[in-house]
Amino acid sequence: MNKKIVPAVISVASALLLTGSALAQETSTGTTPVPTRPVIRKEIQENIKNVRENAKVEIQKLRENFKDDMRRQTNGTRELIKQKREEFKETVKEKREEAKQKIEVKREELKKKLETIKDDRKKKAVEKINQEFSKINENRTEHFTQNVDKIAKVLENVVARTDKAAANGKDVSAVRTAITAAETAIAAARTAITEQAAKTYTPTVNTEATLKSDVGVVRQALQADLKKVHDAVKAAHDAVRKAATTLAQIPGVNQDNTATTTPATQ
């Protein structure tokens, strides 16, 4: 049972005890005519029934209020996740535009440096590879962006289910911790993607003899950077999976305890 509902239950128990105590005192002091046992029993049962009915109403109100709070919290969380997703997409878009401008500048610089190379075949090969590097980086960052959006969407569903479980009285503290870790991992992955989208990969031409090694250095740098982003996205994926697994381990997590529990007849 949820902590907000516990005080109402305590009130019910206290009312029951006070009712029995008051009737016992009247009987023992002799200030009023002593009724028969069936009458006393009936009065006690009527009082208990009234207290129970009132308690049911109050507990139901508390449950509904708590669920309303959870619903508002869930909606607020979803809006925040959506806002972060849109901000991330916009930031990546801006970084790509900045990178394109840098690429154009460096492409012109590369052409000037390649003027010293006599072999036209090698010149064209380097220019083509330079364009391929830019395209690879753009495609991979777009792929990572889509993956992170999917991962964030899964986490959004986990958050919604966690709030529902909390409203039903489940202990979700471990899940909350895992969700926070997942949110941090997603933020780190998005930062890595944003930074990667802003990078450019243009070979630095030294001499005709070093063209192959010059291009190789840039290729290795691109591969290493993309590997770092891949690892960050994978870490986000693993963190969300851990949050979902932790939630699934809660007994009866998918049960909706909306019905009011009826106390046993005394």
Q: Using one digit for the tens of pLDDT, what is the confidence trace for 173-221?
A: 999 999 999 999 999 999 999 999 999 999 888 888 888 899 999 999 9
Based on the fold, state whether residues 225 and 117 are members of the same structural domain. Answer: yes
Based on the fold, state whether residues 28 and 89 are members of the same structural domain. Answer: no
Q: Is residue 65 a part of any domain in this protein?
A: no
- Rg of the chain on CA atoms, in Å: 34
Q: Are 51 and 12 in contact (CB under 8 A)?
A: yes
Q: Is residue 256 a part of any domain in this protein?
A: no
Q: Is residue 40 a part of any domain in this protein?
A: yes
Based on the fold, state whether residues 51 and 85 are members of the same structural domain. Answer: no
- The tokens 């049911």 sit on which residue? 56
The residue ranking higher by pLDDT, 32 or 126, is 126
pLDDT for the residue numbered 75: 60
> Cβ atoms within 10 A of the Cβ of 93, count?
12
User: How is residue 167 written in tokens?
Assistant: 């409203």
Q: Average of pLDDT values for 219-233?
A: 97
Q: How many residues does the chain have?
A: 266
Q: Is residue 258 a part of any domain in this protein?
A: no
Based on the fold, state whether residues 111 and 39 are members of the same structural domain. Answer: no
Report the alpha-carbon distance of residue 36 to residue 42 in Å, rounded: 10
Q: Is residue 263 a part of any domain in this protein?
A: no
The distance in angstroms from the start CA to the end CA of the chain is 21
Based on the fold, state whether residues 80 and 55 are members of the same structural domain. Answer: no
H/E stretch holding 146: helix 120-167
The residue ranking higher by pLDDT, 34 or 153, is 153
Based on the fold, state whether residues 124 and 210 are members of the same structural domain. Answer: yes
Q: Average of pLDDT values for 163-179?
A: 92
Structural domain of residue 27, as residue ranges?
6-60
pLDDT tens sequence across 105-141: 887 877 787 878 888 888 888 889 989 999 999 999 9
Q: Is the pLDDT confidence value at 18 over 70? A: no
Of 221, 232, 214, nearest to 137 by C-alpha is 221
Based on the fold, state whether residues 111 and 30 are members of the same structural domain. Answer: no
The residue ranking higher by pLDDT, 105 or 26, is 105
The residue ranking higher by pLDDT, 18 or 245, is 245
User: How is residue 143 written in tokens?
Assistant: 């792929």
Based on the fold, state whether residues 118 and 149 are members of the same structural domain. Answer: yes
Question: Please, what is the average pLDDT of the chain?
Answer: 79
- The tokens 């590997």 sit on which residue? 227
Domain count, the chain: 2
- The residues, any chain, with a CB within 8 Å of residue 24's CB and separated by 6 or more, are none
Based on the fold, state whether residues 36 and 80 are members of the same structural domain. Answer: no
Q: Is residue 237 a part of any domain in this protein?
A: yes
Based on the fold, state whether residues 80 and 201 are members of the same structural domain. Answer: yes
Based on the fold, state whether residues 164 and 34 are members of the same structural domain. Answer: no
pLDDT for the residue numbered 256: 66
User: How is residue 260 written in tokens?
Assistant: 């009011």
The residue ranking higher by pLDDT, 3 or 91, is 91
Q: Average of pLDDT values for 228-242?
A: 97
pLDDT tens sequence across 58-87: 666 666 665 666 556 556 666 777 787 788
Q: Is residue 127 a part of any domain in this protein?
A: yes
Based on the fold, state whether residues 134 and 36 are members of the same structural domain. Answer: no
Dihedral of the alpha carbons of 191, 192, 195, 197, in degrees to the nearest 10: -110
User: How is residue 231 written in tokens?
Assistant: 């690892």
Report the alpha-carbon distance of residue 266 to residue 259 in Å, rounded: 21
